[in-house]
Amino acid sequence: MGEIRIHPAINVLRYAILIILAAIFLIPVLFIAFTALKSKGDLMTSPFYALPNPFHWENFSKAWNQGNMGLYMKNTLIICLVKVPLGILIEALAAYSLTRMVFKWNNLLFAFFLVGMMIPMQATLVPLNMFLNKTHLVSTYPGIFLIYIGFGIPFGILILRGFFRTIPKEIDESAVIDGCGEMGKFLRIILPLSMPAVATLVIFDFMATWNEFLLAQIFITKDTMRTITTGLMAFKGEHSADYTLMNAGVLISILPSLIVYLLFQKYFVSGLAGSVKG
Amino acid sequence: MTTKTIKPWLFLMPALIIYLTVIFIPALYTMYLSLFSWNGVSSSKVFVGLNNYSDLFMHDTVFAKALKNNLVWMIGSLTLMVGSGLALALLLNKKLKGRIIFRGVFYFPYVLSGIVVATGWAWLYNPTQGFVNKLLTMLGLEHWTQAWLADPKTALYAVFIAAMWQGIGQPMVLFLAGLQTIPQDPYEAALIDGAKSHQSFWYITLPLLRETFLIVIATTLIGSMKVYDIIYGMTGGGPAESTQVLSTWMVSQTFKFANIGTGSAIAAVLVLICMIVIIPYVYYTTKKSHV
C-alpha cells in the first residue's frame, strides 16, 4: 500500500506548471536586477531582456551613498534590536500569567488583547501623535520603541500563549517542589522550553519591524532618523527619473530581508503552521 | 489583596499598560474625536455629533470610492488570492523534487516590505521603459500597452496584481500546513470505494481544511481592510483618487487636509468593519480554548 501512485504524465504536467509559475514570480526580480546593473545609456538602447553589458556595479555604491542607505539601515537596526527582544519579553510575561497563574480573568483578558489585532493603526494615529507631542517623544527612540512594542503585543501574546499551553503542567509542579518561585519558573523552565516559538516570533517580529512603514512615516519626522522604508520613499522622490539607481536602492533594501529569510526559512513555515493550531 | 492575587497582574502589567497606552485608549479617543470638527491645531474643537459620518456617507464621493475599492480588494483577495494560494498548496503537497525551492520562490515576496514591492512594480509598469509594456510590444500586442498606473481605469487592478505577487505565499503556506495535518487513510478508503480524485477533493480535503479556511479568510479580510503601504507607495491614492482606500483616505484627510474629525470618522468606520469581520473569529478561538 503506502503512497497513492500518480500517473507520470500528471507529474510532468505538475512540474511544467510549477516551473512556469516560478518563472513568473522571479521575472520581476530579474528585471529589477538587470535595470540596476545597466548604465543610464544602456537602459535606453539595449533590449529590456538583454543582460547588462558591462555590469555597472558602481550603481549600488552610488545608490548606497546618495540614498543614505547605511544610515537608514543603522536606524532600522537600532529599532529592531531593542523592539524585538524587549517586546517579546513583555509578551512572554503576559502569556505566562495568562496560561500559568490561577486567575479568573484569563480568557477575558486574552480576548481583550486579541481585540488589538482588529484595530487598524490608522485608528490610533492622531491620539498617539498628541500623546507623543505632549510627552516630547516625537522622533525620539523611546517614543518609537514604545509604539512599535505596543503594536506587536496582540500577535506576540497570541503566539506565545498558544505555545505555553502545550507545555504540560506537571513540569511546573515539579519545579514548585524544587522551590522555584513564579519568576524562576518563568525564566528557568517555561522560557527555555519555548525557544521554538520564541525563535519564530523573533524572526517574524524582525521582518515586521524592518518592513514597517506607516508608523515611521507619521512619527519619525527627523530626516536623520528615517528607517529603510521611509528612506526608500524619500530616495524615490529625489531620484524619480534615475531608474538604474532607484532599482539598485530597491535591491539593497531587499538584501537584509532576503538573508534573514534564506537563513531561517523553516521557521517561517513552521511558525505559521504553529499559529494555525494556536 | 494577597500576593497570590496581585502576582498575575504584576506579570501582565507591562503588556497591559503599553497595550492600553498605544492601542486601546487611542482607538477610543479617535472615536470621540470623530464627533468633532477640528483642524488639529486650534485649541477649540467644535462638537458636531454624527455630522462627520453623515457627510462621509452623503457627500464625500472619494469616501464612497474608497469603500468600493476596499470591497473590490476584498473580493479579489478572497477569490483570486485565496484560490491561487490553495491551488499552489495542492500542487506542492505531493512528494516532489525541488518542493522546498518552489515553496521558497512563491513565498519570498511576502517577506519584502510593501514599499519595496511598490517601488519595484511601479518600475515594471513604467509606460515607456517598464517590463509590462516592453513585453507586450515584443509580443506584437502594442495596442494593449498603456500607462497602467496613470489611468484611473486600470490603476487599482495593476496595484492589486503587485499585491497578489507579494501576498500569495501566505495563504499557500497556511494551506500547506493544513494539508499536512490531513491523514492518508480517508483517501485510501475513498480510492478503494472507487472515488474520483475530484470527489476526494470536495468530500475529504475541503471539509478537513475547515480550520485553515477560517484563519485564511479572517486574515485575508482584515488584510484587505488594512491595505495601505503598497497603494501609498505605488499611486498615493491617485490618479484622480481612483485607488483611494479607507486607510489612505483617512491619512490624507488627517495629515494632508488637517480634517481630524473626518479622518477619525473614517478610522472609526474602518474599525467597525474590522470588528464585524473578526469578532466571530475571536469568539470562536477563545471558546475553543476552554475545551
Place of cell 497591559: B16
pLDDT digits (tens, 9 = 90+) for A29-63: 999 999 888 888 888 888 888 888 888 898 899 88
pLDDT digits (tens, 9 = 90+) for B126-170: 998 889 998 999 898 888 889 999 999 999 999 999 999 999 999
User: Cis peptide leading into A54, omega within 30 of 0?
Assistant: yes
For B251, the closest of A97, A103, A122 (CB atoms) is A122
Place of cell 493544513: B178
Provide the pairing of β-strand B46-47 with B36-37.
Answer: antiparallel
Interface residue A33 vs chain B (CB under 8 A): no
- Distance, CA of B19 to CA of B26 (rounded, Å): 10
Interface residue A41 vs chain B (CB under 8 A): no
pTM of the complete model: 0.90
Domains of chain A and any CATH numbers: 8-56 (no CATH), 62-277 (1.10.3720.10)
From residue B203, alpha-carbon distances to A49, A162, B171 in Å are 46, 30, 21
More confident position, A6 or A158 = A158
More confident position, A179 or A152 = A152
What average pLDDT does this structure show over A20-26? 93
Nearest-neighbour CA in chain A from B81: distance (Å) = 14
pLDDT digits (tens, 9 = 90+) for A127-163: 999 999 999 998 899 999 999 999 999 999 988 998 8
- Distance, CA of B118 to CA of B122 (rounded, Å): 6
Any idea where the domains of chain B sit in the sequence? 61-245
Which residues does residue B70 pair with via DSSP β-bridges, in sequence order?
Answer: none
Cβ-Cβ contacts under 8 Å, A246 against chain B: 119, 123
- Distance, CA of B53 to CA of A183 (rounded, Å): 49
Which set of grid coordinates corresponds to residue A209? 519591524
- Distance, CA of B14 to CA of A208 (rounded, Å): 21
CB contact under 8 A, B26 and A96: no
Nearest-neighbour CA in chain B from A245: distance (Å) = 12
Report the mean per-residue pLDDT for chain B: 90
| Chain A from 245 to 264: CB within 8 A of any B CB | 246-247, 249-250, 253-254, 257-258, 260-261
- What is the value of ipTM here, to two decimals? 0.90
For A146, the closest of B22, B187, B222 (CB atoms) is B22
**Angle between the N-to-C axes of helices A58-66 and A8-36, in degrees from 0 to 180, rounded to the nearest 10:** 60
Q: Which CATH class is domain B61-245?
A: mainly alpha
pLDDT at A269: 65
CB contact under 8 A, A31 and B131: yes
- Distance, CA of A176 to CA of A162 (rounded, Å): 22
CB contact under 8 A, A232 and B119: yes
